[in-house]
Amino acid sequence: MSIFTQYNRQKENIGRLLVKCPDKPGIVAALSKFLYDHGADIMESSQYSSDDESRMFYIRFEYYCENLLQIRSQMEAAFKTLANEFEMDFNFTYNKNRKRSAIFVSKEIHCLLELLWEWQSGDLDTDIPLVISNHETAREIVEPLGIPFYYIPANKDIREEVEAKQIELMKEHDIDVLILARYMQILTPNFVQNFPNQIINIHHSFLPAFIGARPYERAYERGVKLIGATSHYVTNDLDEGPIIEQDIERVDHRDNIATLKKIGQQVERRVLARAVKWHLQDRIIVKDNKTIVFH
C-alpha cells in the first residue's frame, strides 16, 4: 500500500472488533481470515490469554475497510457463524458512530476542566451534549462552549426523583457514556442498572485503600508516602467496580492535607482522562469485576 493511500484513508471507514471467548488454537487465524475475506486491512491488533482457571482469550482489532458503512451489516451477520464456533462474545464499533458523553460534576471542577480541554483540543473523541451538576459552579465554564448545562439539585431525600429526570435526559440525548467528574452523589441500584459498564467514576484514592469519603484526610493521618487516584466503572458496590486506570505521586512528611489534595487533583485529572479515552476508543473489555485494557 502506498503512503499516499495510507494517509488518505477516510476515518468513517475505520472499525473495531472486540472479542472474548474460551482460549483455543486457531482463534487469531480465524479472525484475521474473516477480516481479510471482507476486504479489511488490520491497522492494530492486541490480544491477551489469561493463565488462570478460566483460560479466556481477549483480542481487539482496529481495521480499515472501503465502504465499511455499506457492508457492516453483512459483516456482522456473517460473523455470527464464526462466533458460534468459538463461543465468542463480540462487539463491532465504528468510527462513524461517535460516542456521546454526559458529564456529571459537583463543586470541584478540576476533572471537568481537564475533560473539556481534551475535548476542545480534539484529543477526546466524543460529543458532549450536556453537563449535569447539583451545583451552579460549573455553569459559567460550560455554557460559553455551547454545551447545555443542567442544574439539578440532589440529596438523599429526592434522589429517586432526581435520577428519574437524569435517566430521561440520558435517553433524550442518546448518551453512550456517563462520566462522573467528581460528582459527589451516591447512585442508586436502579440508576446504575440502566447503564452497565457505561458509568466511569474517578475516586480520589488508590483503591482499594481509603474507600468512601475523606480519603486525603485519612491518608494524611496514616502518613502515607504515595497518594493516587482510581478510575473505575460504577457498580452497586461502592467504589468496587472494575478498575480501568490508576496512577500515583510520591509525597512525604512535609505535605499537609491541602497539598495532598492539590497533588491528588492533578493525578485525578489525568487518570480520569485516560480512562475515558480508552473507553471511547473501545480499548476495554470487562470480565467479571476486572478489565482488560489494550493501551
Percent of the chain with pLDDT over 70: 96
Overall average pLDDT of the 87-114 stretch: 97
Prediction pTM value: 0.92
Do the beta carbons of residue 147 and residue 101 sit within 8 Å? no
pLDDT at residue 206, rounded to an integer: 66
Report pLDDT digits (tens) over 149-188: 999 999 888 999 999 999 999 999 999 999 999 999 999 9
* Phi-psi category of residue 265: left, alpha or beta, with phi > 0 → left and psi -120 to 50 → alpha: alpha
> Out of 239, 247, 252, 255, which one is annotated catalytic?
239
Q: Which three cell numbers stand for residue 76?
A: 456482522
Residue 205 confidence class, pLDDT cut points 50, 70, 90: confident
CA distance 201 to 114: 14
| Domains defined along the chain, listed by start | 3-94 (3.30.70.260), 100-293 (3.40.50.170)
Which residue is it, cell 475475506? 37
Q: Which three cell numbers stand for residue 180?
A: 462522573
Residue 217 confidence class, pLDDT cut points 50, 70, 90: confident
Residue 2, pLDDT above cutoff 50: no
Overall average pLDDT of the 191-199 stretch: 97
Neighbours of 81 (CB within 10 A): 9
Question: Taking the mean position of all CA atoms in its chain, how far away is CA 153?
Answer: 26
176 is an active site residue: no
Residue 63 DSSP SS3: strand
CA distance 210 to 207: 7
Question: Taking the mean position of all CA atoms in its chain, how far away is CA 96?
Answer: 18
